[in-house]
Amino acid sequence: MRRMIVEEPVSQAAVWSLRLSVFALAVAAVAVVVTRFRLVDVPAGLAVFGSAILIDCLVLLLAGTAAAIIWRTGRRGMSDALGGVVLALALLAFPGYLALQSLRLPVLNDISTDIADPPQFSLSRIATEARGGRNPRARTTAERQAQRAAYPGVQPILLELEGDDAYQLVLKAVQALGWKIIDQSSPGGRAGLGHIDAVARTLIMAFPDDVTIRVQPLAGQTKLDVRSVSRYGRNDFGVNARRIERFAEELQTQLDAK
């Protein structure tokens, strides 16, 4: 007489935790692609990505339920539950990092090297249209003080170059960073100032942010002031300050290559 081998049933909570974690990754990938390539607007892309995050929260709940059931009943499926947790945490890692940044940094989305007199964005028709009609508001005293405390290293840049030479160097740095120039003028006129307005994009979902650079010739040198403003959200999680730092680094690279 043959012995019958009875296999323990599989926890359906474990099975679905793995399935949903894979689905959440697919949803997140779609959100990144359609937003990055501007197939949908940013709020719609964020809504899709947010749904992937909610799915992953459900995955963690299912995986926890599965673990309890498996421990109590001996059912199979622990590998599925663990797989679901690993995939969910992989997707939640970046939002988790942003959450930590929000606890560490002040709520700011407008950073400038000149806190008292930040560079103003061009109001030309072309520049305004490129910014979607947006013109960043003046910052409050509290916001300026918060920037000073959080980013003491964000300071004006002084170049030992004449105005026109500094302006050309800035153009090279902006182009090397891949920013899209939407308005520019070399130093001159009554104020003697030059400026470059550009649109920069974030790394993953390519959100558009607005940057303006003021070129101010002085005696034997040139002062550069940079302002970077996020279009979406009240908190930039430090992105604008890092963008200004990257610009300063690229400027030094271009200067060393002269």
Question: 115 and 88 share a domain?
Answer: no
How far, in Å, CA of 118 to CA of 127, rounded? 18
Residue 185 covered by a domain: yes
Question: 179 and 130 share a domain?
Answer: yes
Q: CA distances (Å), 234 to each of 200, 210, 230, in order?
A: 17, 14, 8
Which two three-digit tokens encode residue 23? 């689905």
Question: 95 and 120 share a domain?
Answer: no
- Residues 85/60, Cβ–Cβ less than 8 Å: yes
Domain that includes residue 131, residue range:
110-257
Largest CA distance in the chain: 104
Banded pLDDT at 189 (limits 50, 70, 90): confident
Which two three-digit tokens encode residue 205? 């979902």
Residue 6 covered by a domain: no
Listed residues 55, 87, 104: the one ending a domain: 104
Question: 96 and 60 share a domain?
Answer: yes
With a pLDDT cut of 90, the percent of the chain lying above it is 93
List pLDDT tens digits, range 219-236. Answer: 989 999 999 999 999 999
Region 74-99: what's the mean pLDDT?
96
**Whole-number pLDDT of residue 5:** 52
How far, in Å, CA of 33 to CA of 39, rounded? 8
Listed residues 62, 77, 104: the one ending a domain: 104
Question: 95 and 124 share a domain?
Answer: no
DSSP-based three-state secondary structure for 210:
strand
Sign of the dihedral defined by the CA atoms of residues 212, 247, 215, 111, in that order: positive
Listed residues 47, 72, 104: the one ending a domain: 104
**Whole-number pLDDT of residue 8:** 73
Region 2-26: what's the mean pLDDT?
86
Residue 1 covered by a domain: no
Question: 95 and 122 share a domain?
Answer: no
Mean pLDDT of the chain: 95
Q: What is the pTM of this model?
A: 0.91
Number of folded domains in the chain? 2
Residue 97 covered by a domain: yes
